């Protein structure tokens, strides 16, 4: 299965991991603001779906930094596209 590397916001990605999501993700490097992560198709769609959900429910989540980070994560993933099989 092929993988692809993405640079995503740390805020949402670390939240995603803290909820035990992302079983197929591999962190390459990280800073306070950005995480470089390698995703296969399962990991890509898992992270994209989670980010989309958080952005969709933004009015119910009282953490604007988290929902804005989810929106940016979604934009990055959509712009870069999913890994090919």
* Residue 13 and residue 46 in contact, taking contact as beta carbons nearer than 8 Å: no
pLDDT at 14: 93
pLDDT at site 45: 95
**Cβ-Cβ contacts under 8 Å for 30 (sequence gap 6 or more):** 10, 36
Q: Which residues share a beta bridge with 38? A: 5, 26
| pLDDT average, residue stretch 7-35 | 90
Residue pLDDT, tens place only, 64-85: 999 999 999 999 999 999 998 6
Residue 62: per-residue pLDDT: 87
> Could you tell me the pTM of the whole model?
0.91
26-64 pLDDT, tens digit per residue, is 999 999 999 999 999 999 999 999 999 999 998 898 899
Rg (CA), the chain: 12
């Amino acid at each position: 299965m092929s993988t692809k590397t993405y640079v995503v916001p740390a805020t949402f990605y670390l939240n995603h991991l803290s909820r035990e999501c992302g079983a197929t993700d591999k962190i390459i490097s990280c800073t306070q603001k950005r995480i470089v992560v390698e995703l296969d198709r399962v990991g890509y769609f898992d992270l994209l779906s989670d980010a989309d959900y958080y952005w969709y429910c933004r009015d119910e989540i009282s953490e604007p930094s988290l929902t804005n980070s989810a929106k940016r994560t979604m934009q990055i993933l959509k712009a870069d596209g999913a890994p090919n099989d």
